[in-house]
Each structure stands twice: as structure tokens, then as C-alpha cells.
A = this chain, B = another copy of it.
Amino acid sequence: MKTKMKTAQDYVESLRKLELEVYVLGERVENVIEHPILRPSLNALAQTYTLAHDPRYTELLVRQGLDDEQINCFTSLHHSTQDLLNKVKALRILGQETGTCFQRCVGWDAINALESTTFEMDQALGTGYHGRFVDYLRYVQQNDLVCNGAMTDVKGDRSLRPSQQADPDMFLHVVERRPDGVIVRGAKAHQTGAVFSHEIIVMPTLAMRGGDEDYAVSFAIPSDSDGVIHILGRQSCDTRKLEGSPMDVGNATFGGHEALVIFDEVFVPHERVFMNGECQFSRILVERFAGYHRQSYGGCKVGVGDVLIGATATAAEYAGVDKASHVKRKLGEMIHLNETLFSCGLGCSVAGAAMPSGTYLVDLLLANVCKQNVTRLPYEIARLAEDLAGGLMVTMPSEKDLNHPEIGPLVEKYLRGVAQVPTADRMRILRLIENLTLGTAAVSYRTESMHGAGSPEAQAIMIRRLSDLEAKKALAKRLAGIEPRGDA
């Protein structure tokens, strides 16, 4: 079978051709690929290419495309619950391999949400979005592209609807309609992996109502389109990557990034527009994208959790406390919580079903349950990691102290745990735990777990809405011996 799958090297080369406008810490970046703060993020994304060529993972990471060619799973549609399950397993492995957010799920989830939504829009409204979208998807698959799935608007005053804002640009919207396309203005916040994406797939951030038609817009554009500006978000400990002390970084190879992506009057040709004013379908699109993405976290965060559990167990071993009953219990609890998340990832996948287009969607109730747990359990896992790591994690001297000719030997002597493990290794594993609980990776393991794919309250609302409470009441009334009344 022919393949269109890029290697990691192909991927990096393809990025060099992009002419992105990127700012980091107040400066325009010329070479995003070699920028030391950004590079670990590129490395993590590149793992989605590397591992797809690894025979151990072919079943999970390689799928069949629209034209039956071999494609990277991250550009594929889900054709079965097995595909949904494999997604969760694939993401867990990538989380294990990178110890961070590898940033490519969001585009995958956007593709699947748009495919079925455009199909149903066309069915209902006689529009022609689905064909356009499939053409676009073919292009993505053929070129094995990274797509940034851009949903979250900056939103301004949260108590106001898009068209009520003092500044009408607080939600991305169409500001001009031309014969050949539309001009949009606005900004998408928290854009994970944006700087290393070839494409940006824009979706509305919430269910639009009448009056907000200009905001009900979805489309795809190259990430270096005119008017697109990327401003990198600061992460905790980001500049440690500039210090030349890889040990202090914790995970010197892999990382993630988020950017504020500004659309300063950007042109979108019609063939790349997938929704344009159809408010009634914005809810469906948002819920499906969110559903897929809430499922994702039942895989990727579990993989990162595996790394944190392993790091914690190693730190305990290096301190000589791994046999203590409370240490074993707490490690067991971390595993329990982590596997609970995995169970939730599997559960919403196996309970999925086909949409009218034939593409499979996760069970939305269970996907929201999955994500709701992700907003809680990693925090407890992290707390237990901080418990077992001990205070040294945050009071250790730097790598430069360890390497200092005079005080280095004292650091080496006094921070040794069990005699047979070098102090440097002990420091490395503690720095990795710091990275995951307080540093750059905490941004993805904690904050992204909390807010990615929607904040906890968004899931709480969906859980209440998707559960058939009336059916449960009927069960209870019958068992309680309450006769049905006319009004109920």
C-alpha cells in the first residue's frame, strides 16, 4: 500500500518553508525551528511522525486515508469504535514518550468534528460544505499536515454575547464578504502547537444564536497566511531552556507551547470555508469537537501520568524509601487514579456510535465525564508526586552549582540519596517531577487538564444536559410505588 506519511525530518523541512510571524518575549523570531524555547515543542510534535514509522505502533498510528493510502492517524477519520479506542491508546503512548502535550490532537479532533457536521449541514440546508471539506481533508492527508484546531476566542467580557461586546472583535468574525471569499478578524487564545502547524482550522467557540451570524464561521487557512500573527504564551520556567543547563529543565527534549493567534484581517477563499452564518450548526460543531477532545485527554494525560508515576517511584527509590508502606500505597493510588482516567477514555470510545456521515463519534456524556475527571485527578496525582518527591525538588541547587569546581563536590556529597545512585541522576529525576508539577510541563499536565477542551463548568453543564434525568426519576417512582399522574 502506498504511503503519504512524512518522516520527522520531512516534517521539519516542510516547516522551514512557512513564513510565520511569531513573537517570543517581545521579539520577532526569525528561525522558529531552532529557537531554544520553542524547539522542545517541535520535538514533541515530531514524535507523532517518528513513531508512525515505528513498527511497534503501526496498528495504532497508521490508518487508511480517503484514497486508501496509508496515512498518519492524526489526519484520519474514525470509522469504528475500534478506531476511537486506538486513538486513546495512541495518545497514551505519545504522552509516555514525550512527557508533555504533543499538540497534534486538536487538529485531528477538528477534522472529525467538521466532517460529520458539514455532512449534516448539507443534508439539512442544501449547502455544499461537505464536499469542500473532504477535498481539504484529502489535501491534509496527502501532505501529512499538522492542523491547528482553533476554537477558543479571547471572549472579552464573559457575561456578554459576541455581538454585545464593547469591542466586536473579541470573537473572531467575518468583517467583509467578497466574491471570492471572506475577510475575518479576531483572535484565538491558548493555541496549542500553533507555531509548528501547517494549517489553522478555525471553528466558532460556542453555540451562536440569532444575531451572531457573523461569528458562526469555520474555515481553514495556511498558518502563514497574511495577517496571521502568533504571540507565544509564557510558561512557568520557560527561560530555563535558555540557560544552558539541561538538567535544570527537567525534560530537556520535549515540551509544548501555546500561542495567541491574531487574525488581523485575514482573507479566506470560499473553498476553504466550512460554515458561514449557520448558527444552528455551531452548537453541534462545538460539542463534537469538544467531545473528541475531552476523550483525547483520557489518553494523552494518562501517558504523561505514567511518566510522573515512574519519576516519583524512581525518586523514592533513590531516596531509599521505596519499601515504606505509605510510599507503596501512594504510588498505588497514583496508578489507580491514572487508570481511572484511562478507563474513562476507553469507556466513552467503546460507547461511541456512527454519525450520519459514517464517521464515529464518542459517547458525549461519557466523554464529558472523562474530561471532568481530568480536571481533578491529575491534580491529586501531582499532589502525591510532590509528597513522595520530598522538599528537595524545590530547594535543590542548580546544575551550575553541581558543576562548580569548589562547591560542586559538596553538592554531590550532600545531596546523594542511596549510595549507589549518582547525585546528578537524583537531581535529574527531581527536576523532571518539578517540570511536570510546577514547570513547563505543569502547564499541560495541570492547567491544560483543567481548561483544555473546555473548563470544568462546561463539562458539568453538558453532563447535566446529556443525562436523561426524567428516565431516572421514572425508575425511582416505579420502585417507590408512586402512581403516574396525569401531569408528569
Contact = CB atoms under 8 A, between A and B. Distances in A.
Contacts of A407: 23, 229, 231
Contacts of A351: 346
Nearest to A232: B397
Interface string A298-315: 000000001111110110
Nearest to A254: B479
Contact of A310 (B23, B383, B469): B469
Contacts of A144: none
Classify chain A: how many residues form its interface, as a range: 35 or more
Contacts of A323: 159
Interface stretch (A173-181, A213-221, A437-445): A437-445
A18 interface: no
Contact of A169 (B324, B413, B420, B482): B413
Contacts of A170: 414, 416
B438 A395 contact: no
A79 to B, nearest CB: 17
A329 B460 contact: yes
Contacts of A325: 325-326, 329
Interface string A410-421: 110111111110
Nearest to A399: B26
Given A240-B239, A347-B342, A395-B260, A429 B156 contact: no
Given A158-B320, A260-B414, A340-B373, A314 B236 contact: no
Copies in the complex: 4
Contact of A447 (B159, B189, B391): B391
Name the residue among A339, A392, A403, A474 with the largest chain B CB count within 10 angstroms. A339
Contacts of A240: 239
A250 interface: yes
B307 A472 contact: yes
A346 B387 CA distance: 25
Interface string A458-488: 0011011001010111111101111100010
Interface stretch (A9-17, A51-59, A285-293, A449-457): A449-457
Contacts of A111: none
Top 5 nearest A-B pairs (CB, nearest first) are A26-B400, A343-B347, A310-B472, A233-B395, A310-B476
A420 B167 CA distance: 12
Contact of A331 (B169, B448, B469): B469
Contact of A23 (B23, B159, B321, B404): B404
Nearest to A157: B320
A326 B239 contact: no
B438 A482 contact: no
29 contacts: A23-B397, A26-B401, A99-B476, A152-B391, A158-B321, A167-B413, A190-B392, A234-B396, A236-B236, A239-B240, A246-B481, A254-B479, A260-B395, A306-B472, A310-B475, A310-B476, A311-B473, A311-B476, A314-B482, A329-B329, A332-B461, A335-B469, A336-B463, A340-B344, A340-B369, A343-B348, A387-B456, A425-B483, A438-B438
Nearest to A460: B332
Contacts of A96: 475
A236 B457 CA distance: 29
Contacts of A166: 419
A357 interface: no
Contacts of A155: 319
A64 B443 CA distance: 48
A160 B320 contact: yes
Given A187-B414, A455-B390, A460-B326, A233 B167 contact: no
A224 interface: no
A157 B324 CA distance: 13
B420 A487 contact: yes
